[in-house]
Amino acid sequence: MTTEARRKWSTFAWTALTYILVFLLVFPVLWMALTGFKTEIAAINIPPILFFQPTLDQFLLAIQGGFGAYLFNSVAAALVSTAIALVLGIPAAYAMVFHMSTKSSNDMLFFVLSTRFMPFAAILVPLYVIVTRLNLLDNLFVLIVIYTAMNLPLIIWMARSYFLELPKEVLEGAWLDGCTTFQTIVRIVVPMAAPGLTAAALLAIIFAWNDFFFAVTLTYTNSPTLPIMVAAFTSNEGLFLARVSALATLIILVPVAIGIYAQR
C-alpha cells in the first residue's frame, strides 16, 4: 500500500469513527425528543413504535404543570450566580496575573481549584445543616450562593488563562495614562478578553442550569428549578415517559442554544 493510499485510508477511518461517535452522542437526545411527541402508551410500547402520529399534548401538559415558575427559578439562579461569579472572578484573575509573582499566582490558582476537588456529596450534609439553622431552606438565594461558589473557580481559572495572553504593553500604557485598577479592568482587560470571558460565562450558566443535586436537596415548593420538575413526573404508577421526554427536550434547548452561539 502506497503512502497516498494509507493516508486516504486513515482519513476515511477517522472520518467514519467521528460519524459513529457523533451518532452515539446524538441518538439518545434525538430519541428523547421524538418520544416527547408520542402518547404515553406509544412511548412505553415494546417493541418501540418508529412511525407514529406526532402530538404536542405532552409539551402542553408539561408547560401547564407550573413550567413558568420553574423556568424563572432556573434562569434567575443561573444568570445571577454567573454574574456574581464574573464580578468576583475577573478582579481575582487580574490580581493573580498582573500583581503577583508567577509562583504565588500558581499557588493561589491551585488553592482556588482545590475547592473543587472535594465531591459535592461530601459537603451536602453540613451544608444542609447550615442552611436549615439559618432558616434559608427552600430559598432561591441559597442556590445562587452555591452556584456562585461552584462556578467561581472555573471563572478564575479561565479568566486567568486569557489574561496571561494579553500584551502587557497595553496595560502599562493604561497605567501611565493614569487609569485606576477598576478602569483598566473595565476599559482594557474585559474588552480584550471578551471571547474567553464569554466562554467561561456560558459554561457557568450550563453548570448551574443542569444542577439537580443541590436543588433537589435544598428546595421544595418555593424555589425548585427545572430539573426538579422532571423528577416530579414520577408517581406511584410509574414514570410518565412521554411527558418527561417532552419536558427534558424543553430544558436542553437552553444548553443547545448556548452551544450553537458559542460556535459562532
Which single residue is written with the C-alpha cell 500558581?
A: 106
Helix (H) or strand (E) holding 46: none
Most confidently predicted of 43-57, 204-218, 225-239: 204-218
pLDDT at 264: 67
Give the mean pLDDT of 247-251.
90
**pLDDT tens across 175-198, in order?**
888 888 888 888 889 999 998 999
131 alpha carbon, distance to own chain's centre:
24
Res. 235 pLDDT band, cuts 50 70 90: low
Domains of the chain by residue range:
1-65+233-264, 67-217
pLDDT at 18: 93
**pLDDT tens across 132-179, in order?**
999 999 899 999 999 999 999 999 999 999 998 888 888 888 888 888
Top-tier CATH class for 67-217: mainly alpha
Determine how many CB atoms are found less than 10 A away from the CB of residue 95: 16
Residue 238 — φ and ψ, nearest 5°?
125, -160
Residue, of 237 and 100, whose pLDDT is higher: 100
Helix (H) or strand (E) holding 194: helix 194-210
Size of the chain in residues: 264
**pLDDT tens across 76-112, in order?**
999 999 999 999 999 999 999 988 888 888 899 899 9
Separation of alpha carbons 114 and 150, rounded Å:
12
Residue 187 neighbours by CB under 8 Å, 6+ apart? 174, 179
CA 231, 237, 241, 246 dihedral sign is negative
For the chain, the average pLDDT equals 87
